[in-house]
Amino acid sequence: MYRSLGDAVRDATARGISLSRLALETEASDQGRPVGEIRDVLHRALVVMQGAVAQGLTGNLKSASGLVGGDAAKLVHGPHGPLSGTPFRDILARALAVQEVNAAMGVIVAAPTAGGAGVLPAVLTGLAAARGLSDDAVVDALATAGLIGAVVAERASLSGAEGGCQAETGAAAGMAAGAGTEMLGGSPTQVGHAVALAQQGTLGLVCDPLGGLVELPCVFRNATGAAIALAAIEMALAGITFAIPADEVIDTMGDIGREMDVRYRETAGGGLAATPTGRRLARERLVQIKRG
Amino acid sequence: MVSLLDIIGPVMVGPSSSHTAGACRLGLLARGLVGGTPDQAKIELHGSFARTGEGHGTDKAIVAGLMGFRPDDDRIRTALEIAEREGLSYKFEKTTIDEEAHPNTVRITLERGDRSATMVGSSLGAGRVLVSEIDGFPVEVSGNYHTIVLVAEDVKGSVARIATLLSDDGLNIATLRLTRKRRGGDAFMVIELDECPGEEVRDHIRALPWVRWSFRLDKVSA
């Protein structure tokens, strides 16, 4: 797979094909498998993503600790806000839904990780629903997202323990922004700008879950991650460009992650986990989990 | 090389790709060392596995893997109850394996009939795992391939003999690593294969007089 999004954009543009086509052909060649098989695996992932969205929106889930659950349904049935009736509000609900399923030990697709698993399905299935796009279009978008994630894995990190939340929900926002931009008709160059625009908005984001559990703030950070992805898609499709190339933004994310104090890398030693309320809740809930 | 399918995946039971899916894969690999669901399991958790494992279902996921459940199997949620019904007796302990060990590391000691095995493995993130030690031998098993592990007397030509045998069975070797604790002592071979070896391959290997034991570890990645 590509190690540089810049190279991928250049090759796709030169050949007059989409980034998803390039990603699928490259993966097929890397693995010695036909493109059809790769698409089949991605399609199975999409079915699981759709199932998790549907399950989470019912609102009948509680996490192991009881700290999170039931909030996705509030965006469906709760009081109106300025985004009511828009794809934006629907996508926020979907992001919460998948993460609530994850926290309740339901079945999800780690994309790129379980902690950041809500962003990509929320943005892609939400936009597909709003625009009436087929599952095939979403499968293609997943291939583009995979290419972007592979570049982040090679150049920076996809682990909160190594790079903070910028490497999990931040990377997921970059993947969703690029994939969503292509799905709505953006060119490979616009995809590159969308990735840079999303990733720049999450630089420095720490990984600080209460008690080290993938619950709080992870569930909500998937919703705000999806919001950042949507902002990036909107800007990129409007023709806005970001002066720093996506590869360099991703490199910077990796550098910041390496310099980030260990308290902010999934150790529950800093950030929200270390607030007085965060410590108290973690203590109470961990006792509850041990009691079963 | 990072695969697109590593990024969009695995399909898994939540909540953590490292503490749940990776833990399950380590259980699956350990299971392979005794050829099936063990009777007894001692599971020693190190670092973050010990600290936050309970909230992530790490205990359930490892036991599920030992019973052959994969990371996307929703029986993981009730794996501890299932284990009690199926007669798998397990025990968890918290330990420090060593200061240098990866934060998400586990040592699993298993007994099944007359076979026992000890494995040390780590969950590296995004569901990727690495087995670093089997029965005291340093190894590197990723679970990204179908893998054969075997212990043999350190005889000349053993590698060539095994390679021929595998190629006669139509199998292509992806990697092969040989380690031994001392010259002339037992040699530990880890062979990663592109194809899944059938039962007859293991029988052929076991029929070699200088092979003490061998097991097949099934591919655990997508």
How high is the ipTM of this complex? 0.93
Would you state the pLDDT for residue A290?
Answer: 65
Would you state the pLDDT for residue A291?
Answer: 64
Q: Which domains does chain B have, with CATH numbers?
A: 9-135 (3.30.1330.90), 146-217 (3.30.70.260)
Sequence-distant (6+) residues with CB within 8 A of A270 are A206, A208, A261, A263, A264
CATH number where A194 lies:
1.10.4100
Which residue's structure tokens are 């009881």? A66
Paired residues of B89 in beta bridges = B40
Q: Is some CB atom of chain B closer than 8 A to the CB atom of A61?
A: no
Would you state the pLDDT for residue A271?
Answer: 96
Domain containing residue A256: 5-291
Distance from CA of B141 to the nearest CA of A (A): 19
Q: Return residues 31-50 of A near B (CB < 8 Å).
A: 31, 38, 41-42, 44-45, 48
CA B127 to chain centre: 14
Q: Which of A166, A168, A198, A162 is nearest to A180 (CA)?
A: A198
Lowest mean pLDDT among A227-241, A269-283, B121-135, B177-191: B177-191
Q: Report the helix count and the strand count for chain A, using DSSP H and E.
A: 13, 1
Per DSSP, the three-state class of B117 is strand
Would you state the pLDDT for residue B6?
Answer: 86
Chain B residue closest to A176 (CA)?
B8
Q: Return residues 54-73 of B near A (CB < 8 Å).
A: 54-57, 72
pLDDT-flagged residues of chain B (< 70): 222
Sequence-distant (6+) residues with CB within 8 A of A269 are A262, A263
Provide the pLDDT confidence category of residue A234 given band limits of 50, 70 and 90: very high
Is residue A166 pLDDT above 80, yes or no? yes
Would you state the pLDDT for residue A53?
Answer: 98
CB contacts, 8 Å: A44 with chain B = 11
Would you state the pLDDT for residue B183?
Answer: 77
Write out pLDDT tens, residues A45-93. Answer: 999 999 999 999 998 888 878 889 999 999 999 999 999 999 999 999 9
Portion of chain A with pLDDT greater than 90, in percent: 88
Measured distance CA(A155)–CA(A99) in Å, rounded: 26
Nearest to A109 among B9, B18, B51 (CB): B9
- The continuous run of DSSP H or E covering A137 comes out as helix A135-155
Total domains, chain A: 1
- Indicate the average pLDDT of chain A: 95
Lowest mean pLDDT among A8-12, A259-263, B40-44: A259-263
Would you state the pLDDT for residue A242?
Answer: 98
Nearest to A212 among B12, B55, B126 (CB): B55
Q: What is the dihedral of CA A179, A185, A189, A194, to 10 degrees?
A: -50
Write out pLDDT tens, residues A106-156. Answer: 999 999 999 999 999 999 999 999 999 999 999 999 999 999 999 999 999
